Each structure stands twice: as structure tokens, then as C-alpha cells.
Amino acid sequence: MNLVLPLPVAIPLLTAAFLVLTDHVAPRPLQDAVGIAGAAGGTATSLIVMVQAQAGEQLHWFGGWQPRHGLAIGIAFAADPLGAGMASLATGLSLLVLVYSLTYMREESRIFDVLVLVFGGAMAGFALTGDLFNMFVWFELMGVAAYALAGFKVEELGPIQGAVNFAVSNTFGAYLILLGIGLLYARTGALNLAHIGHALTVSHKVDGLVVVALTLLAVGFLVKAAIVPFHFWLADAHAVAPAPVCVLFSGAMVEIGLIAIARLYWTIFATPLGAHHLELRGTLIWLGVVTALVGAVMAFLQRHLKRMLAYSTICHAGIMLAGIGLLGSKGLAGAANLVLSHGFLKGGLFLVCGLVLLQLKDIDELRLHGAGKGLSAGAVLWAAGSFGLVGFPFVGAFLGHSLVDEGASATGIEWLQPLLMVAAGVSAAALFRAGARVFLGWGPRDDDLLTEEPPESPSEQTANAPLMASVAAVAIVLGLVASVVPGLEQRTEAAADRFGDQPAYVQRVLHGKPLPGPSHREPFSVKNAPGSSWGFGIGSLVIAVGGAAFGLWRRRLPMLARDAADRWLGPGVNVLKAAHSGIVGDYLLWIAFGTAVLGGVWALTLR
Amino acid sequence: MSILPYLCAGWICLVGLYGAITSRNLIHQALCLTVMQSSTYLLLLAIGYVKGGAPPIFKGVKLGTKAVDPVVQALTLTDIVVSVTVIALILALGLDAHKDAESIDPDELVGLHG
């Protein structure tokens, strides 16, 4: 029984309750201090759990309802290093957000801090729990906090639209998850992940019911993870949410959906569906690749900076899903490293957006043409953050990309990494182009390729820009060094190995047995990353720079080339733009369509 | 065990989905989500149903008495509580939309697109 384990959830939630209770009673600075202390406490305890979990899953059975003879009735937190790492990232980002918002978002309402704490605590709970229905509860709790945060500026119309699209799409996803949970409970009589997986493995009965449950659960979590065609809500929610809120959306919430997919696969479905892992791998990888490419192209078509970053998040979520979809520990470790580096880098970039909105009173690439020339801190941070996302050797996302690359070539899927390279390059090209236009004044002032979005009202003037810039700098530096932290790659790989070891997980959770020692094998080291990873990193940078130059100066291309580009790319671009209609009914239809297709494919192949 | 409750659950879910997709009114849309949600109740309760089972209250009842599954009932209650929060939030957003735009048609809220 680990008594620290509930604290990453309990501390932020209790702090939030305290803040509501003392609203209008306690002085403001005290409330700020308590809020930040609460987030810091959550971060510190999740880091402690992460360190403890390296020796084996940490367990906490609430109310002391331990399993007897392998029968789990109680609800447990079961923390492995990756889950605890995700909890640390979520609580850590909420700490950064609270510090950043010390002088920002102040006049709005005190409820902001409360919602951020609840959001962070719920994500930590989701990452730590070992119970399927408990996952659903945390999922809904984080959803409610997130919808409220997305629609925080309700006096404007844009935020209402964004929050409604977000809330309705994700609620639909949540009901699908609940239906899936019901079906699995019907088959196994269990809600504990280890127990469900064990029962399915023993019964040898993998039939239509299990496949339907798999589809419902997968779709529900893929909605959260913003995977095409379930991704539409994400850009709307990000475009309207205040910049610090986007940090949590992009840096942690989307990844929570992905970690749920990984967790469900390895704790429940991996062994029962073991004979079909090739088909599952194929679908997940293709979902990831299509998502990465669609996200990258859509990012390139944006002029609203936060919306651009949102589509770039979709692109990177696709890359992570492709890593997870390799269904091996290398790919999973790569995805986990990408979650870490992307969380900090994208978070930092959103924080720069908040700074831009504060100082330049706008968030639109074209209207801000050259306006950021005096904003050197913002310019440097934007460039560094975008560069980190490219995956250039030894910087930012490189470690994750090279692990995915290694995992892909080990499973004989050599075509994966070139596609992911193109996606990462194109999405970074959008960021480079926007940076060059805003901070350097390059390129023309108008571009009919880019869609105009409603403007966002600037934030209050009392905000402290140096404080905001330094928080953004902390996030971006943490993201940039994520590839070269000594020992990180070995630890992530060991954690991924453990994450995928279902029999050991069952033994540990249901019977409390200590885990067998780690298997000794040659660990991956970023220093001897394969040459292909170097090539892909450099290729991605070339695509990014070339794409940015194309975006800025495509009018200087000869007439013939432009005509050809219009003819070949124009229709596709228009279809993509039209699909992102901003109407929530369309989004639900896409989700329903995606569910039917995915369910159909799995019903045909998983038998 | 009859298959009827399961078919009903599927039907209610699809009806609610159809309503939510075609809705031109945010309040109506929130209610359609509630309809969809009631399919989850039905499914859960159907799963826990035992023919001839007593309610799961075990005080003063002999051991071995047949009873319906209390776990799914607990899940249903939790689901009701959690989802009420979500629906309340969507309704509140609808209220704000009415205040700002004098309209609660989600199709008229389109500022964001592309």
C-alpha cells in the first residue's frame, strides 16, 4: 500500500476546494500562493511516485479493499513509471500555467485557478488509476474542467462556439467509452484493468462483443487524442481558449487520450488479441500517419497562431499514435519521449502566443506582419520552440523520433519514418513561416491561402511580460533538452518494457507479487542513434525551411509552377478546409462515421 | 436473458445521436446528449439484471439469495452525477450564446472554420 500515490490527485483537488471556500475571504496573494503550492505539491508527489515506480508498479487500494485470490473488488491506483510520468507532466504544466497566470487572466475571475487545479488533478488521476470505470470518471472530470476553461471568455461568441464543439464531441466520446466499459464488464465481471485482461485471456473468448467494446473504447479515447477523423473539436477549442489553457490542452490532455489507448491495449487486449496484433498495428499506424499529414497541412493553412499550433498538435499526436501503434516497447518509448518534449515545447509556444497577444494586441499572422520586430524575447522563444519540434539531431523531439524510427525498422515498416518526417517538417514550416512574418516582417502582408478567424480581445495590461516570458523560456528549454537528459532513454525504454508486460502486471496488481528483475539487453542510446534518424531529422528541417520559404514567397515562383500547384493542390486544400466547418453536427457525424469504419475494419480483420 | 434491452439501448443511442447531429438548437442538442446517455443506463442495468433477483440490499437477507448486480447500479448513479455536470455546462454555454448572439442555433455560431 503506497500512501503517497493518491496525493498527486488529492493535493490539487483539495487545494481547489480550499480556494473556492475562501474566495472573497482570504487575501488575493495568499490565494495565489496556496494555488501554486497545491500545484507544486501535486508535481512533487507525482515525481516521487515516478521514482518509486521504477522498482515496480505502485499500488493503492482505496479503503483497503485489496484483492483476494486474484479477485479485485476495490478500486486501485496502479502507477507505472510512464503513467506517473504523465501525471508529473500534467501537474507540472498546471504549475507552470498558474505561475504564468499570476499577473495574467486576473481580472477575469478567481475561478480560473480552481479550474486549472481540478484539470491537473483529474489528469493525474487518469494517468495513475488501474481501474477502467475510474478512468471514465477522471475523463469526465477533466472534461468538465476543460470545457469551462475553453469557454472562459463567454462574453465573446468565438469561445462559446469552441467550447460547445469541444464539449459536445467529447461528451459523445465519453458515452461511447461508457458503453464499451459496460460490454467489457458484462463479459468479464471486472472493472480492474488487470482483472479484465486476465479474465479475457483465460476465457479465450474473443468474439464480436469484445471487438465492439474495443472499438467503442478506442474511439472514445481517440476523440480525446484528436486523431483524424475525430479531431475536429481540437482546433476550435484551442483557437478560443486562453493561451495558458491551451498549454494544458495540447501538452497533456491530448496525450492523456493516447496513453489511454496504450494502457487499454497492453493491460486488456494485447494477449487476448495477440493473434491479430498485425491488423491492429496496421490500423493504428495508418490512423497515426493520416492524422500527422492532415494536421501538418491544416497547420500550414492557418493564420491564427493558436489555431496553427493546435493543428500542429494534431500532427504530433498522429506521430505519437504511430509510435504507440507499432505495438512494441521501442515505439512506445519513442511516443513517451515525444509526449515529454512536445508537452514542454508546445506549451512554451502557446505561452509565447499569450505574450504576443498581450504586447501586440492580436494573434493573427497577417495582421501582425512585422509587428513583432521589437519583441526579441518572443522571437527567440518562438524560433527555439519551433526548431525543437522539427526533430533535428539531439534537439527536442529527436530522441522520440529516433526511437520510433528504430521501432519501425525493427518491425519492417521502413516507410513509416519518411512519412512522419514530411509531417513534422510541414507543420514546423507553418510555425517558421508565421515566426518570420510576425517577428521579422518577411513575405507579403496578405495571403489568400490562409483562413481568417475571429479576433481575440487582448488581455489586461497589468500583466507582467518578463514573468510570462521567463515561464515560456523555462518550458521551451525543458523541451529542448529532453533528447539529451542522461539516462532518460534507458529509463523510458525500461518503463515501456514494463508497461507492455501484461502477465507481470496481472501478478503485481492482483497478487501483489514483486516484479521480476529487468531484462538485461543493450539499451538504446541517443548518442548512437542510427544514421537514418540523423537523415530524417535533417530532412525534416530542410522541409520545414523550404516549406516556410514557399509559404512566404510563393508569388515569386514562375507563373507556370504556380498554376500547376493550384491545379494539383487547390482542390485537396479546399476539401480539407470545407471539412473543418466549425459546425458541431458535422463533427458528430464524422465521429459516427469513423466509429463505423473502424468497427467495420476490426470486425472483418480481428477474427 | 432477453435481447430486447440491448436492442433498445442501441436504438436510443442512435436516436440521440441523430438528434444531436441534426439539431439546430443548443438546448435541444443538450437534451439529445441526455437521450444518448440514457442508453448507457439501460445497457448497464440490463447487464446487471438477474431474472427473479431481489434488489441488492443485503441486510437481514439470507446468504445465497439471488440479487441483481449492485455494481452496475453504482456505475449508473455515478454516470448520472457526472453527466449532469456536463449537460449543465452545455446549457450554460447555450445561455451565453443567447445573450451574445440572440441565437442558440449552433450553425449560426460559425466564426471558426477552415
Highest mean predicted confidence (pLDDT) among A88-97, A110-119, A411-420: A88-97
Rounded CA-CA distance B91/A112 in Å is 20
Percent pLDDT > 90 in chain A is 64
Contact A164 B82 (CB under 8 A): no
Percent pLDDT > 70 in chain A is 96
- A590 chain-B contacts, CB cut-off 8 A: none
Cα pseudo-dihedral B8, B14, B16, B20, rounded to 10: 180
Which three three-digit cell numbers place residue B81? Answer: 452525477
Contact A160 B20 (CB under 8 A): no
Domains of chain B: 4-109 (1.10.287.3510)
Domain limits, chain A:
276-401+409-485+530-553
Neighbouring C-beta atoms of residue A8, cutoff 10 Å? 33
> Which pLDDT band holds residue A430 (cuts at 50, 70, 90)?
very high
- pLDDT exceeds 60 at position A520: no
Which three three-digit cell numbers place residue A158? Answer: 468565438
Q: What is the pLDDT of residue B7?
A: 94
Span A69-76, average pLDDT: 88
Contact B106 A164 (CB under 8 A): yes
Contact B71 A191 (CB under 8 A): yes
Let me know: does A226 contact A288? Beta carbons within 8 Å: no
- pLDDT exceeds 70 at position A18: yes
Closest CA to A17 of A41, A42, A34, A40: A34
Instruction: Give the CB-side neighbour count of residue A450, counting CA atoms within 13 A.
Output: 23
Q: What is the pLDDT of residue A108?
A: 59
Please check whether residue B104 touches A, CB under 8 A: no
Q: What is the DSSP pairing of strand A76-79 with strand A58-61?
A: antiparallel
**Local structure of A391: helix, strand or coil:** coil
Rounded CA-CA distance A115/A141 in Å is 10
Let me know: does A89 contact A80? Beta carbons within 8 Å: no
> Which pLDDT band holds residue A126 (cuts at 50, 70, 90)?
very high
> Which pLDDT band holds residue A61 (cuts at 50, 70, 90)?
very high
Contacts of A486 (CB under 8 A, 6+ apart): none
Span A121-130, average pLDDT: 96
Range with lowest mean pLDDT among A13-17, A142-146, A528-532, A540-544: A528-532
pLDDT single digits (tens) A550-603: 999 888 888 888 888 888 888 888 889 889 988 899 999 999 999 999 999 999
Let me know: does A81 contact A498? Beta carbons within 8 Å: yes
pLDDT, chain B, mean? 89
pLDDT single digits (tens) A140-189: 999 999 999 998 887 777 888 899 999 999 999 999 999 999 999 999 99
pLDDT single digits (tens) B19-39: 999 999 999 999 999 999 999
DSSP state of A462: T
Q: What is the pLDDT of residue B60?
A: 81
- A578 chain-B contacts, CB cut-off 8 A: 114
- Its pTM stands at 0.95
Q: What is the pLDDT of residue A521?
A: 58
- pLDDT exceeds 80 at position A96: yes
- pLDDT exceeds 70 at position B67: yes
Span B4-28, average pLDDT: 94
> Which pLDDT band holds residue A319 (cuts at 50, 70, 90)?
very high
Q: What is the pLDDT of residue A72?
A: 87
Q: What is the pLDDT of residue B96?
A: 87
Q: What is the pLDDT of residue A216?
A: 96
Rounded CA-CA distance A574/A377 in Å is 36
Alpha helices (H) in chain B, listed in sequence order: 4-22, 26-48, 70-101
Is the preceding omega at residue A514 within 30 degrees of 0, hence cis?
no
Shortest distance, CA A591 to any CA of chain B (angstroms): 10
Please check whether residue B31 touches A, CB under 8 A: no
Q: What is the pLDDT of residue A361?
A: 86
Contact B71 A185 (CB under 8 A): yes
Contact A171 B83 (CB under 8 A): yes
A448-486 residues labelled b (16+ CB within 10 A) or e (exposed): eebbebbebeebeeebebeebbebbbbbbbbbbbbbeee
Span A180-204, average pLDDT: 91
Phi-psi region of A141 (alpha: psi -120 to 50; beta: other; left: phi over 0): alpha
DSSP string covering A50-73: HHHHTTS-EEEEGGG---BTTB--
